[in-house]
Structure 1
Amino acid sequence: MQEKDVIMEALLSSNDEKNIIHNALIRFLESDFFFGPHCHQNVELCLMLKGECDIIVNGEVVTVHENEFMVLFPNCIHSFRVKHDKTANFLQMHFRSESFLNMDPKTYKQVKFLFYMATESKAYMKAKYSDEIFSCVKRIVYEINEDKQINNIALANLYIYELILLLSRDIQNSFNSVLKVDHPITAAAVEYINNNIEAKISLSDVAKNCNVSKRYLTEIFKKHINVTVNEYINITKIKKAIEYIYDSDESLTDIAYRLNFGSVQYFSAVFKKYAGVAPREFKNLNSRQV
């Protein structure tokens, strides 16, 4: 009973520090827009109202059309691109995945969306959105941006739970795996980088391990992963840094040198480029009680 009271108190609180939602807004992207690649710990949802947008996820180009939505799970590498003859008008939202970690295993079994979010075994889901999902996301956007309304944060948090239940009804066929690499040399390069992420890795090191030239590796890696080798190395290091921030008491300086960034300043610059905020700000944000 006491545990249920604590959960209900957190849900009904209007304290900003207990807000599950990072942001929720309406966005309009002009033609030829491009942003990325980057990754973050939050779950991201894009619900396309009009037009279309390419979202490049771990090297795979996925086009989100009008009346479709896409959910990006934590720590997947993604970019946004609008074609030269298109525009995109959509609802976008980020919410904190850590709010749903460490739950009872029975809950994950019953609510599949939570299972895939917690395990990070899937990169994204995309499907047509229902009237119920559209209504729920609209209400979240409204409450988050109406800060003069009483209990707006509490209501928005409750709507996130509603959204998760709606998304969990029939989602199995909408999921995609974290990273599919069909080309053997590209797959070997990815495996080498992932297995040696704490080392000081260069393009030359990866090419040598794969027994190919730097030029050839650069061409095929970009073709299959949609980012350069060096970008993938940095993004993977930042994903690992995020894990260390969450799972250890190491200082940011120790994490920077553990991942062989060379200097704290360079680590901070790379972290901000791909995570969107400086590492200290990220650590402070995620040390709050949600």
Structure 2
Amino acid sequence: MSAAETRIHNALIQNMPAGYHFDTHMHRTVEIFICLSGAITITVLGAPLAVRAGEYLLVFPNVLHSCDIPQDGPCSILQMHFYPESLPQLAYQCSSSESCFIFELALDKRKFFKGRSTPQLAACLEGVRAELANPQDGGRNMLEAYLTLLNILLSRDLYDRAPKSQLYENRHLMRATIHINEHCTEKLTVGGVAEAVGISAGYLTRLFREELNLGVSTYITYVRISKAIDFMFANPNYPLTSLALEMGFCSLQHFSKIFKDKMGVSPKKYFSIRPI
């Protein structure tokens, strides 16, 4: 199995009957699907979101969600799950408008986004599905190309719909968030992050406040919450107190408060839900 194949968990067409229900779950992968026919309701952190034929929905990793098909008819979707770990390297090769999706993954504030599908997006997901279903010579390069194309298509959609600000325009802000994600298990300071991206600590602090409405240290804390979730997926019986301390929190109580603020539920309840 190629490296690209291991980063793509699956790509398939799902045909679901009227009244179908899939209970609350989460996964480490990014999930994207295009509704081909009918309609589907995805409930994300308790908020229902209807997706109809011709629309797509992307759900970010580690987000609680469930699925329901209305009683008035079946639904068909073209669905793909993929791991985001390999994408940050593309941010240094693409323009700002082509890096927005990678930036949102690093930022880790969005839970989902929804849009209208395009022939290019549908062809990309179908190409991945076909390649996985019938592997051929050059498959690894083909899948790498599809991942790159998917990043660009999603980034363009995000960029076109975003209020014009420095959020997607400032490369220093983008690279700072990516640097933090790549080094969050190390000791990080505002000055160290600023130096790594070539700006002053004061300018970095101002960028985070103006564009993200939070401090650099708060963002680092949120990233560590996400890394704690990844760790618990791999080590489901690990003590929460030990996890909290190893991730840089002063106590389990502090970890639990920040976790609930970010994820909407306590860590105990979150980790009691079976990951998919």
Q: Please indicate the TM-score interval, normalised by the length of the shorter structure.
A: 0.5 to 0.7
> How far apart, CA to CA, are the structure 2 residues paired with 1:116 and 1:108?
15
- Measured after TM superposition, the shift of residue 132 of structure 1 is 1.0
> What is the match of residue 37 of structure 2?
50
The yes-or-no answer on 1:76 pairing with 2:60 is no
Aligned 8 A contact 1:109 1:115 in 2: no
Q: Which amino acid aligns with 2:19?
A: D
- Cα pair distance change 1:100/1:17, threshold 3 Å: closer
Q: Which amino acid aligns with 1:142?
A: A
The yes-or-no answer on 1:61 pairing with 2:48 is yes
> What is the match of residue 124 of structure 1?
112
Aligned pair partner of 2:142 in 142, 146, 155 = 155
Range moving further from structure 2, 156-165 or 166-175:
166-175
Aligned pair partner of 1:22 in 6, 9, 23 = 9
Counterparts in 2 of 1:1-290, with a 5 A limit? 15=2, 19-101=6-88, 109-110=96-97, 111-147=99-135, 149-172=136-159, 241-245=228-232, 253-255=237-239, 258=242, 273-276=273-276
Give ranges in structure 1 of 5+ residues lacking alignment.
Answer: 1-13, 176-237, 261-266, 277-290
Classify the secondary structure of the residue corresponding to 2:15: strand
- Measured after TM superposition, the shift of residue 151 of structure 1 is 2.5
How big is the alpha-carbon RMSD for the aligned residues of Structure 1 and Structure 2? 3.1
Aligned 8 A contact 1:108 1:115 in 2: no
- Measured after TM superposition, the shift of residue 103 of structure 1 is 6.5
Aligned 8 A contact 1:97 1:118 in 2: no
- Measured after TM superposition, the shift of residue 40 of structure 1 is 1.5
Give ranges in structure 2 of 5+ residues lacking alignment.
Answer: 163-224, 244-251, 253-266
TM-score (normalised: structure 2): 0.59
Q: Which amino acid aligns with 1:42?
A: T
- Measured after TM superposition, the shift of residue 171 of structure 1 is 1.8
Q: Which amino acid aligns with 2:11?
A: A
Classify the secondary structure of the residue corresponding to 2:157: coil
Aligned 8 A contact 1:126 1:174 in 2: no
Aligned 8 A contact 2:91 2:102 in 1: no
TM-score (normalised: structure 1): 0.57
- Measured after TM superposition, the shift of residue 58 of structure 1 is 1.5
Aligned 8 A contact 1:20 1:157 in 2: no
- Cα pair distance change 1:173/1:165, threshold 3 Å: closer
Q: Which amino acid aligns with 1:112?
A: C
Q: Say how many residue pairs are matched.
A: 189
